[in-house]
């Protein structure tokens, strides 16, 4: 079998598949750019809030309240 | 700024050559959703390796190498975790590139014939049909040149039999 005869067919197949499954540049850009995750405002203060909470609790227990 | 231009440069390159990636996806996966998943996986792998790509080899060689490595890695992963439905049934259900797209019968026959080859043989014929030399194929597939030549002649015989069968 001479595969040279198949080359134009393969090119046609690639074009058909390429046009039916085409992605826009915008879609491609969205794929490679990691999505920005929205964190709630208190997320960055959670350690401080936890520390204060635990301190208040310990203070309450030790002082007998 | 530099990163933004790198993104843009990469996106333009992929947009220009995306039909090559789609052809790889469609040859290995008959279902549109699987093809879409694989396309995304390949593009992400290409993006990861893009900073080290220095244009010393052909763009298509790099694209094929990454795409085929991704496909083989995925297939290996799937073999260790088999699917419920046999693949042959899926191929019968969705024989062409896209179920909505009516392809010419000749391209459909070619697709059907190549689909019946083994995973490695599909890659070899794919690269051969895209004008890659046996040396390039050997490098990309990590095989010896002799092995590629032997397999090529077997693939040609197999394809000619399959084509005759399809045309009957």
pLDDT for A18-60, tens place per residue?
Answer: 898 999 999 999 999 875 566 778 878 888 999 999 999 999 9
Residues B10 and B80 in one domain: yes
If phi > 0 it is left, if psi is from -120 to 50 it is alpha, else beta; for residue B142 that is left
User: What distance separates the 2 farthest-apart alpha carbons in chain B?
Assistant: 59
Give the burial class of A6: count Cβ atoms within 10 A of its Cβ; 0-12 exposed, 13-18 middle, 19 or more buried: buried
Residues B47 and B115 in one domain: no
Compare all CA atoms of chain B with the CA of A13 and give the residue at the minimum distance.
B107
For position B93, what pLDDT does the model report?
45
B46 found inside a domain: yes
- Assess contact for B114 and B125: CB atoms under 8 A: yes
Average pLDDT of span B1-24: 88
From B88, B119, B154, give the residue that closes a domain. B88
Residues B83 and B121 in one domain: no
B72 found inside a domain: yes
Q: Does residue B95 register a pLDDT over 50?
A: no
Compare all CA atoms of chain B with the CA of A4 and give the residue at the minimum distance.
B129
Give pTM, 2 decimals: 0.75
Residues B1 and B65 in one domain: yes
pLDDT band at B54 (very low <50, low <70, confident <90, very high): confident
Number of domains in chain B: 2
Residues B55 and B110 in one domain: no
Q: Does residue B83 register a pLDDT over 90?
A: no
In B58-97, the residues whose Cβ lies within 8 Å of chain A are: 97
pLDDT band at B26 (very low <50, low <70, confident <90, very high): very high
B22 found inside a domain: yes
- Residue with tokens 């073999």, as numbered in its chain: B79
Q: Does residue B88 register a pLDDT over 60?
A: no
Q: Is A13's CB within 8 Å of B160's CB? A: no
What domain range includes position B22? 1-88
B8 found inside a domain: yes
Give the burial class of A41: count Cβ atoms within 10 A of its Cβ; 0-12 exposed, 13-18 middle, 19 or more buried: exposed
CATH number at residue B141: 1.10.10.10
Chain-centroid distance of CA B130 in Å reads 11
């Amino acid at each position: 079998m001479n595969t040279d005869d198949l080359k134009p067919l393969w090119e046609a197949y690639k074009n058909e598949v390429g046009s039916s499954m085409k992605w826009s540049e915008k879609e491609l850009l969205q794929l490679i750019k990691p999505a920005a995750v929205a964190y709630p405002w208190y997320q960055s203060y959670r350690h401080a809030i936890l520390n204060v909470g635990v301190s208040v609790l310990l203070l309450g227990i030790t002082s007998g309240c | 700024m530099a990163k933004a231009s790198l993104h843009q440069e990469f996106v333009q390159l992929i947009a220009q050559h995306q039909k090559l990636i789609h052809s790889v996806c469609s040859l290995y996966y008959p279902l549109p959703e699987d093809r879409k998943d694989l396309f995304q996986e390949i593009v992400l792998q290409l993006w990861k390796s893009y900073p080290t790509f220095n244009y010393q080899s052909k763009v298509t060689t790099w694209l094929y190498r990454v795409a085929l490595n991704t496909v083989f890695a995925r297939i290996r992963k799937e073999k260790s975790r088999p699917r419920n439905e046999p693949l042959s049934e899926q191929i019968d259900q969705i024989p062409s590139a896209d179920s909505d797209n009516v392809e010419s019968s000749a391209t459909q026959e070619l697709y059907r014939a190549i689909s019946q080859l083994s995973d490695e043989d599909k890659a070899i014929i794919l690269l051969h049909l895209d004008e890659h030399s046996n040396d390039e194929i050997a490098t990309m597939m990590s095989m010896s040149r002799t092995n590629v030549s032997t397999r090529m002649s077997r693939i040609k015989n197999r394809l000619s039999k399959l084509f005759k069968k399809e045309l009957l």
